[in-house]
Amino acid sequence: MTNKKLEKILVINDDADDINSLKAVLPENIKMSSISQFEAKCRKSFNYDLIILDNDANEAKKSKGKETLKSILKKKKLGAPVIYTSHTPSWIPDEVSNDSRVNIIKTENLPKYLANIYGIPIKQVSESKPEGKTSVIITYNNVENYKSGIYGDGKLLIVSDTKRTYEKAPEVTKKNLEKIYGTFDIKNDKDKIKDIYIYVGLNAIEEPLNLAMSLAHDIRKQIYVMACSCQWDEKASRVKNTGLDVIIHQVTCGGQEDLMDVADKILGRKNGKEIKEKNKK
């Protein structure tokens, strides 16, 4: 691949944000086309210098890219190297990782990779996105001195006491965010979210961690995992190995008081109560 002239790129990706981010940094002389995973499987030929295929495992669903890869590698007129991208390489199916016909690149490293391999100049794009308004706390326990609900005119949303299951948490979160914003779509409205805090205890480890990884992958925002010390090594290792923008903090078992401190800081309260200013004499 090194020093091969690069003029036409095909991007196969169902995520418009990924497509637009790559297009923004490529020089004007490179023609970039994009199609969906479904369209790619229907095509008979690919007349491009390079194909960039994404894993597309959003919302913790099965990889779309895996099936698309099988389909396009069978095409007689493929004639182009394939780069397989993912924001979370650990989510890529083994059969793709072990396929010597593709190069696997983490999505955020793709521009640098193209510059190094093809010698093309990559534009420097400075992103100045407005800070989101709503912070979200999700826990299967309670938050000390706080009930589940909306606080501070939409500044904080607490989804608590989920009966030791996180299956309902995304649905409950979405419905509450719709109360704040009228409508809410995780893909289109993710910039309205500021921070997300998820408690991971002993009685539920897998589900909240899966939720944290899924949200970090889909909304491309930092997620704070608030985990007790029980089976800490397992939790820390899981967070580290994903490569996602997830920070893990150790809290006391149950997390009730630690999450209260988070809520207090967001709302400017103390122990769940508003701080009253003292009148100066």
pLDDT tens track, the chain, 281 positions: 444 678 999 999 998 888 998 999 999 999 999 999 999 999 888 889 999 999 988 665 688 999 999 999 887 667 789 999 998 777 788 999 999 889 999 998 999 999 999 999 998 876 666 678 999 999 989 999 999 999 999 999 999 876 656 677 888 888 999 999 999 988 788 889 999 999 998 877 888 888 888 888 777 777 899 999 999 998 998 888 777 778 899 999 999 999 999 999 999 999 998 877 555 44
Runs of H (alpha helix) within 59-168: 64-73, 94-97, 110-118
Q: Which residues contact 87 (CB under 8 A, 6 or more apart)?
A: 106, 107, 108, 217, 220, 244
Question: What tokens were used for 239?
Answer: 């967070």
Q: Going from the N-terminus, what domains does the chain have, and what CATH number goes with each?
A: 8-118 (3.40.50.2300), 134-274 (3.40.50)
Whole-model pTM over 0.85: no
Q: What are 1's strand-pairing partners?
A: none
